[in-house]
Structure 1
Amino acid sequence: MVFSLFKKPKPSENEPKTVPRPKSVVPPAAPAERHHVSPDADSVAVASVPPLDFTATSPSGTNRAGGASPAAATEFHDDDLDALDFSGLEVTDVGIQVEHQEDPLQGLLEQVAMLYASGADAQVAAILADARNQHRQGALAERLWLMQLDLYQVLDQRSEFDQLALEFAHTFEKSPPTWLVHQDACPVAPLPPGTLQFKGGLEGGNEDGFAPLQSALEQCKRGGALAWDFSRVTLIDPDGCARLAACFDQARQRKITVALSGVDGLLTRLAPRCETGKREAEGCWLLLLNLLALSGDTAGFEERAVDYAVTFEVSPPAWEPVKAAGGAVPAHSAPVAEETFCLSGQLIGERFAGLADFAAGHGQVVIDLARVQRMDFSSAGALLNALTPLKAAGKTVVVRGAHQLLVELLNLVGVAAVAQIVPPKR
Structure 2
Amino acid sequence: MALPFFKKGKDKAPPPKQAPVSAPVESLPTETLLTMDMGASGIVVEESSGAPQSAVDEAAIMYASGQTDMAERLLKDILGGGDRRAWHMLFDLYCIQRREKEFEQLALDYAMRFETSPPVWQKMGSNGGAGAPQQAEAASLELPGLLDKKAAASLREGIAGTDKKAVVRIDFSRIEMVDENGADECAKILSAARKAKRKLQVSGVDRLIALLQDLNRATHSRAVHWLLLLELYQILGQQDNFEDLAVDYAVRFEVSPPSWSEVQAAEVVQTKPAEPADDALRLTGEITPANDSALQQFGSYAATHNDVLVDLTQVTRVDYGSVSQFISVLMQCLGSGKAITLRGHNALIHELFRVMGIDQLAQLIPHHPD
Tell me if both proteins adopt one fold, taking TM over 0.5 as the criterion: no
TM-score, normalised relative to structure 1: 0.36
Q: Relative CO higher for 1 or 2, CA cutoff 8 Å, sep ≥ 6?
A: 2
More strand by share: 2
Looking at CA atoms only, which structure, 1 or 2, has the larger radius of gyration?
A: 1
TM-score, normalised relative to structure 2: 0.41
